[in-house]
Amino acid sequence: MKWPRPPRLEGVNLLVGAALLMPLHATPGNQPEPLTPVRLLTGWTWSWTIGLTVAVTAAAYLLGVQVLRRQGTHWPLGRSVAFLAGGLGTAVIATMSVLGTYDTVLFSVHMIQHMILMMLTPMFMALGAPVTLALRTLPQRPRAALLWLLHSRLAKVLTFPPLALAFFIATPFALYYSSFYPLSLESAFWHNFLHLHFVLIGAMLMWPLVGIDPLPGRVSYPLRVLTVFVLLPFHAFLGISIMSANSLIAEDWYLAFNRTWSPSPADDQYLAGGILWGSGDITALVMMAVLFVQWFRQSQREAVREDRRLDRLEAAEAARASRLRAADHPGTSD
């Protein structure tokens, strides 16, 4: 659907009006305007489906936090910030900002969107611990159903680290070197499905890897760090292969725009490969930092528990020695 062009506006109204010109799923028939620095800020679009989904999810999370506060239970602010600003916020930016406006126009913009939805959004949502929040605040029956789901065979399969890693690595190769990517550009339905697919595949890996929730498939921290190392060459290899490709990915679609503004389709694809390579490494380093912080905190908690255990043993040994002394000298008193 092509939005009607509004009347000429001035000042701030011009910037707002420019943001309303572009549909969320732009096609060659829309003749998109050049992506300028100004449009990086004003090229927002609106989707009722995405907007309502994000709003309902945020409201449910905040309601859970409010229930805990009424119960007198502390919920870390960092978790709320991670889920709401990091998780839902990055999803909104990826789908309704200039990234959502130009994701079908420029391959490089799509690649930024891809990396956000597949890595950053699931990682921050996992750090927000929504499952833990639900288990602490849901009524008895929904809580029992959630516990059943967490212990089901399906949950164990979906969070099995080798399977999640395989899906995560295979998804971009299967997408960009098959006919599905051109289909996702031509069809708004499959385009939205691809966005959801990115988030779900990323969640399969991120939740057991960096998440706090009590899910099956959790492995030790050394194995989690090893998993992140496995991801590093995958992004580099795929990025280099896209940069060095002799033909354009979804060539007919991108050439149909007949853009006269830069970058050219060939340069745009080269840039997309570089974005995949560089952002993949940067995100992996962020994940590594998160894992090391979690590992350190777990070690600190284990050290505190061990100190308490030793204190209890020492107190029990002192009490036992006192009883033995009292038995050997029944006429004495402490």
pLDDT of res. 303: 64
Tokens, residue 333: 């008193």
Q: Is the pLDDT of residue 44 over 90?
A: no
pLDDT of res. 307: 61
For 95, other C-beta atoms within 10 Å of its C-beta total 24
Share of residues in the chain with pLDDT > 70 (%): 87
Alpha carbons within 13 angstroms on the beta-carbon side of residue 321 total: 6
pLDDT of res. 267: 94
pLDDT of res. 33: 84
Q: Which has the closest alpha carbon to 81: 51, 61, 97?
A: 61
pLDDT of res. 331: 59
Tell me the pLDDT tens digit for each residue of 216-257: 777 778 888 888 888 888 888 999 999 999 899 999 999 999
Q: Is the pLDDT of residue 18 over 70?
A: no
Least confident segment among 41-45, 139-143, 221-225, 303-307? 303-307
For residue 263, whether the previous peptide bond is cis, meaning omega lies within 30 degrees of 0, is yes
Radius of gyration of the chain measured on its C-alpha atoms:
26
Q: Which amino acid is at 294?
A: Q
pLDDT of res. 17: 36
pLDDT of res. 43: 81
Phi–psi pair at 91, nearest 5 degrees: -65, -40
Cα separation, 258 vs 236, whole angstroms: 30
Q: Is the pLDDT of residue 332 over 60?
A: no
Residue matched to tokens 């060095």? 244
pLDDT of res. 132: 93
The rounded mean pLDDT for the chain is: 84
Tokens, residue 20: 């309303």
pLDDT of res. 3: 42
Task: Judge contact between 202 and 39, C-beta under 8 A.
Answer: no
Q: Which has the closest alpha carbon to 80: 138, 131, 128?
A: 128
Q: Which amino acid is at 66?
A: Q
19: confidence class by pLDDT, cuts 50, 70, 90 = very low
Q: Is the pLDDT of residue 276 over 90?
A: yes
